Structure formats: C-alpha cells, structure tokens
C-alpha cells in the first residue's frame, strides 16, 4: 500500500501570474519535502527510497512512496532502523519542513510577479 502526504494551496483571489507562481512553488516545495523524506526513509536495498515521487495537479500536490510495504514502514513505530532512518519518514519532514516549504512557495509567487 502506498504512503502519501497531500498539500493544497488556497488561491481563490490570486491572479493568473500569482497562480502560476504558486503552482511552480508547490512543485519546488514538494521536491524539497521528497528530498527531506528520502534522508530518513528506511533503507535496506533502496527500493522504498527510489519509489518516492512527487505529483502536481494544478494547486494540489503530493509526495508518495509506491511499494507494497510503504504504508506499513511509515506507521510501524516498533520496527528499528539505522539512524537517521525512521518510521514516519514522510509525516515528520512534512511537519518540520513546512516553514521552508511555505517560503519556497512564496518565493516562486514573488518571482512570478516580477
């Protein structure tokens, strides 16, 4: 079963250029989250790590890991991993990297208005 985190940017009042910047920012932010999660995803052969990907559809996007054991690896807190690898490999970075992700989105919106 796949494990994923989703993010939706509310842009009701954004003009077209701002929206384009928000979409670009979302892509950058999700790539940042993917990289941060890859640093702590459990790693034995690297299959789970390599399965990580981002997807963006307008202003909705996700980071996902697509193996049959991705969700179980994410949720099983009793399994031991070599540091810095851990369970909650997507949820943890989604929380800790959120301020940086917001900055990345904001920077792309500002860039789109130049």
Using CA atoms, how far apart are residues 23 and 69, in angstroms rounded to an integer? 30
Question: Tokens for 76?
Answer: 């099983």
Using CA atoms, how far apart are residues 65 and 72, in angstroms rounded to an integer? 11
Residue 63: CB atoms within 10 A of its CB come to 26
**For 31-84, what is each residue's pLDDT tens digit?**
999 999 999 999 999 999 999 999 999 999 999 999 999 999 999 999 999 999
What pTM does this model have? 0.87
**For 81-97, what is each residue's pLDDT tens digit?**
999 999 999 999 999 99
Backbone angles phi, psi at 41, to 5 degrees: -65, 140
**24, 58, 97, 51: CA torsion to nearest 10:** -100
DSSP percent split of the chain into helix, strand, coil, nearest 5: 45, 15, 35
Which three-class secondary structure state does DSSP give residue 30? helix
Residue 84: CB atoms within 10 A of its CB come to 8
Question: Tokens for 72?
Answer: 């179980």
């Amino acid at each position: 079963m796949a494990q994923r985190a989703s993010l939706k940017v509310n842009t009701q009042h954004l003009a077209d250029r701002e929206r384009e910047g928000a979409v670009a920012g979302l892509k950058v932010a999700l790539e940042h989250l993917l990289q941060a999660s890859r640093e702590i995803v459990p790693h034995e052969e690297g299959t789970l790590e390599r399965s990580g990907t981002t997807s963006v559809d307008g202003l909705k996007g996700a980071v996902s890991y697509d193996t049959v054991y991705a969700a179980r690896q994410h949720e099983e807190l009793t399994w031991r991993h070599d540091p810095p690898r851990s369970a909650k490999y997507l949820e943890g970075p989604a929380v800790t990297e959120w301020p940086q992700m917001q900055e990345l989105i904001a920077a792309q919106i500002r860039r789109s208005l130049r």
